[in-house]
């Protein structure tokens, strides 16, 4: 089951990256662009946990950096931070033994927060690496349009991803733990 | 409990490994740029994804075109409104520009007339009230006694031919003056044809030809030709004329002897366009 999840996640990453770099730039009405990989990473973080979300985020970031000829690893770091933050702050992180994992929260606010974190993280990494940017331009021509478009596309994409990664309110593996 | 711990450890290990991999890639990417392992990885990814990207691009092209057409339509509507506003602004600016150009031309003509006639003390002004000159034989100008204008001062206007006599000041207030035009049938100006001995006469408004002048009392014996220039004489028999001598009035357009009359019939076309008076010069001749 876990292997199938990884396979589905990687296929999703590939498809979404291709769509993100080849299709959505043609629709940009306001500048910026939707972050489809962020939607997937947040969805996986909420429904499948940190591990799968981190793998998907790393792969998505790697592909994006490679396709856009950016410094490899930069976007991966941002998605990893997004996956970690969403699982930690939504309470989907590390359930203790014998504890029921809480029901997954509504994903849309987390998508917005996650996409914002990725945008800010990327800007922060680029600033740390010495790129000079006008903050006002970045906010109004990159971050805000990107968040708005990501939110709109999340309304379409989340139900599809939910069918692929149906969230299960899983009980932690108490029986096995007890047996041991 | 133990398995749960293992799960936590594995999770942390995976995330830590991925972070380390990201940092390693970032470092290598900075060190090697687009060459070496990093470069070949990037090229490999591009080669792998290029066919899919191409297909995705082709599949979505009709939707993209539809989207662009729709947004283009909205933009076109907005641009139409903007263009209408701009066209209005342009029209206003053009009108203002034309007005300023006309004012400049008038000012230049006034200055030129002043340079060509340095003997006159003069003051320039603009026509502020003008009825149709063929219906009303007076105009009002925006200068008066405060600027040195006095009753009976001669008024000239610059023109393409160098300027000509307009009339005289008939009424004056502090800031305005009324000018009686040469077209007034009740007025007359003693004049002569330049270069013709004895060609003296009186300029009056032509009764049958609106806007034209007649020169009366010129004997048939005098040779007057078409296009001769008519100027003021500065004297009127026993009395001095109200106008100084040498002011251009117009050009002879027709000169024909009249059977049974001792005088010729001479028609003069004024240098000044009375239908389009703007800048005028008042010669301070009565102080």
Domain that holds residue A127: 2-94+103-168
Q: Provide, as residue numbers in chain A, all residues whose Cβ is less than 8 Å from the Cβ of B11.
A: 49-51, 94
**Given this model, what pLDDT does residue A83 score?**
93
Contact A55 B14 (CB under 8 A): yes
Three-state DSSP class for residue B198: coil
**Per-residue model confidence (pLDDT) at position A84:** 92
Residue A28 lies in a domain: yes
Residue A142 belongs to a domain? yes
Helices A107-128 & A74-89 angle (0-180, nearest 10): 140
Distance from CA of A85 to the nearest CA of B (A): 12
Helix (H) or strand (E) holding B204: strand B200-205
Which of A25-29, B55-59, B266-270 has the largest mean confidence? B266-270
- Indicate the angle between helix axes A50-67 and A36-47, nearest 10 degrees: 170
Tokens representing residue A49 in the block: 């946990």
> Is residue A180 in a domain?
no
What is the CA angle B195-B201-B202, rounded to 5? 130
Looking up tokens 């979505």 gives B60
d(C-alpha A134, C-alpha B264), whole Å: 88
Judged by a CB distance cut-off of 8 A, whether residue A10 touches chain B is: no
Record the tokens describing residue B151, joined without a space. Answer: 């009753």
**What per-residue confidence (pLDDT) applies to A178?**
44
- B64 contacts A22? CB cut-off 8 A: no
Selecting from B15, B24, B67 the residue whose C-beta is nearest the C-beta of A27 gives B67
Contact B131/A at CB under 8 A: no
Number of C-beta neighbours around residue A159 at 10 A: 9
Structural domain boundaries in chain B: 33-116, 122-283
Residue A177, in any domain of the structure:
no
Write out the DSSP string of A57-107: HHHHHHHHHHHTT--TTHHHHHHHHHHHHHHHHTT-S-PPTTPBPPPPPPH
* Position A90 in a domain: yes
Contacts of B64 in chain A (CB under 8 A): 23, 26-27
Q: DSSP per residue over B21-55, as a string?
A: HHHHHHHHHHHHTTSHHHHHHHHHHHHHHHHHHHH
What does the mean pLDDT of chain B come to?
A: 84
d(CA B55, CA B44): 18
Average pLDDT over residues B75-92: 90
Whether residue A32 is contained in a domain is answered as yes
State the pLDDT confidence band at B17, using cuts at 50, 70 and 90: very high
pLDDT score recorded for residue B47: 83
Reported confidence tier of residue B3, pLDDT bands at 50, 70, 90: very low
How confident is the model at residue A39, as a pLDDT?
A: 95
Nearest chain A Cα distance for residue B111, angstroms: 55
Instruction: Judge: B26–A58 Cβ closer than 8 Å, yes or no.
Output: no
pLDDT at B4 over 60: yes
Contact between B213 and B182 under an 8 Å Cβ cutoff? The reply is yes
Which residue of chain A has the CA closest to B40? A66
C-beta of residue B162 within 8 angstroms of C-beta of residue B251: no
Expressed in angstroms, the distance from the first to the final Cα of chain B is: 122
Residue A111: CATH number of its domain: 1.10.1760
Out of A55, A67, A180, whose CB is closest to B45?
A67
Q: Hey, are the CB atoms on A76 and B28 less than 8 Å from each other?
A: no
pLDDT, tens only, B224-252: 888 899 999 877 665 667 788 888 899 99
User: Residue A155's pLDDT is what?
Assistant: 94
Q: Which residue of B has its CA nearest to A83?
A: B15
Neighboring chain A residues of B2 at a CB cutoff of 8 Å: 177, 180
Select from B10, B18, B38 the Cβ nearest to the Cβ of A72.
B38
Q: Who has greater pLDDT, B201 or A128?
A: B201
| Tokens 């060509």 -> residue | B116
Nearest residue on chain A to B67, alpha-carbon basis: A27
pTM: 0.54
**Are B15 and A74 in contact (CB < 8 Å)?**
no
Q: What does the pLDDT profile of chain A (180 residues) look like in tens digits?
A: 578 889 999 999 999 998 888 888 777 655 678 899 999 999 999 888 889 999 999 999 999 988 887 888 989 999 999 999 998 888 776 554 445 566 677 889 999 999 999 998 888 877 777 776 777 778 888 888 889 999 999 999 999 999 888 765 555 554 444 443
- Best probe of the A interface among B10, B22, B31, B32, by most A CBs < 10 A, is B22
Taking the Cβ of residue B25 and every Cβ of chain A, the question of whether any pair is shorter than 8 Å is answered with: yes
pLDDT digits (tens, 9 = 90+) for B203-226: 998 877 778 899 988 888 888 888
- Could you tell me if residue A11 is inside a domain? yes
* CATH class of the structural domain B122-283: mainly beta
Query: Residue B193: which H helix or E strand, with range?
Result: strand B189-193
From A53-62, B265-274, B276-285, the region with the lowest mean pLDDT: B276-285
Q: Hey, is the C-beta of A54 within 8 angstroms of any chain B C-beta? A: yes
pLDDT per position as a tens digit, B62-82: 888 888 888 888 888 888 889
A vs B: CB pairs below 8 A: 117
**Structure token digits, residue A163:** 């069918």
pLDDT value for A112: 94
Q: Are A44 and A165 in contact (CB under 8 A)?
A: yes
Kindly report the backbone phi and psi dihedral angles of residue B267, in degrees, each rounded to the nearest multiple of 5, phi listed first: -110, 135
Cα B119 to Cα B100, B114, B232, B244, distances in angstroms: 30, 9, 16, 11
- Quick one: pLDDT at residue A150? 92
Count of domains forming chain A: 1
Yes or no, beta carbons of B42 and A72 under 8 Å apart: yes
Examine the pLDDT at B152 and tell me if it is beyond 80. Answer: yes
Q: Which of B10, B41, B53 sits opposite A18 (nearest CB)?
A: B53
Bridge partners, residue B275, by sequence: none
In sequence order, the 6+-apart residues with CB closer than 8 A to the CB of A90 are A45, A46, A104, A105, A110
A157 Cβ under 8 Å from any chain B Cβ = no
What per-residue confidence (pLDDT) applies to A76?
94
Whether A179 is in a domain gets the answer no
Higher pLDDT residue, A101 or B146?
B146
Confidence (pLDDT) at B2: 47
B37–A contact, CB cutoff 8 A: no
Nearest residue on chain A to B10, alpha-carbon basis: A51
């Amino acid at each position: 089951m876990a292997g199938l999840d990884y396979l589905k996640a990687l296929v999703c990453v590939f498809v979404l990256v291709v769509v993100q770099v080849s299709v959505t730039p043609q629709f940009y009405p306001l500048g910026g662009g939707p972050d489809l990989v962020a939607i997937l990473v947040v969805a996986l973080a909420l429904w499948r946990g940190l591990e799968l979300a981190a793998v998907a985020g790393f792969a998505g970031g790697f592909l994006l950096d490679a396709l856009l000829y950016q410094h490899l690893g930069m976007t991966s770091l941002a998605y990893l931070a997004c996956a970690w933050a969403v699982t930690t702050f939504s309470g989907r992180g590390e359930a203790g033994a014998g504890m029921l994992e809480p029901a997954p929260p509504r994903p849309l606010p987390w998508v917005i927060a996650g996409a914002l974190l990725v945008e800010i993280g990327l800007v922060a990494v680029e600033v740390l690496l010495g790129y000079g940017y006008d903050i006002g331009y970045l906010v109004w021509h990159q971050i805000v349009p990107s968040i708005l478009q990501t939110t709109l596309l999340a309304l379409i994409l989340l139900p599809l991803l939910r069918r692929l990664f149906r969230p299960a309110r899983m009980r932690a593996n108490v029986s096995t733990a007890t047996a041991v | 409990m133990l398995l749960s711990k293992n799960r936590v450890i594995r999770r942390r290990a995976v995330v830590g490994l991925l972070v380390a991999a990201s940092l390693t890639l970032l470092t290598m990417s900075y060190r090697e740029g687009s060459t070496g392992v990093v470069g070949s990885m990037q090229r490999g990814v591009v080669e792998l994804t290029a066919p899919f990207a191409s297909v995705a691009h082709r599949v979505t092209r009709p939707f993209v075109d539809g989207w662009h057409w729709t947004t283009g339509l909205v933009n076109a509507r907005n641009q139409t409104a903007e263009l209408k506003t701009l066209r209005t602004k342009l029209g206003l600016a053009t009108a203002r520009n034309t007005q300023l150009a006309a004012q400049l031309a008038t000012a230049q003509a006034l200055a030129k007339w002043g340079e060509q006639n340095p003997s006159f003390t003069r003051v320039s002004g603009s026509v502020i009230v003008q009825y149709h000159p063929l219906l009303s034989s007076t105009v009002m100008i925006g200068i008066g006694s405060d600027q040195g204008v006095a009753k009976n001062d001669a008024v000239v206007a610059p023109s393409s031919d160098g300027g000509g006599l307009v009339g005289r000041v008939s009424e004056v207030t502090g800031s305005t003056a009324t000018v009686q035009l040469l077209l007034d049938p009740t007025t007359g100006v003693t004049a002569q044809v330049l270069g013709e001995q004895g060609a003296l006469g009186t300029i009056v408004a032509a009764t049958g030809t609106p806007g034209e002048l007649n020169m009366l009392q010129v004997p048939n014996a005098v040779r007057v030709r078409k296009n001769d220039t008519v100027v003021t004489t500065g004297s009127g028999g026993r009395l001095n004329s109200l106008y100084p001598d040498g002011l251009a009035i117009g050009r002879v357009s027709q000169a024909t002897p009249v059977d049974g009359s001792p005088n010729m019939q001479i028609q003069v076309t004024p240098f000044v366009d009375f239908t389009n008076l703007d800048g005028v010069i008042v010669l301070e001749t009565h102080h």
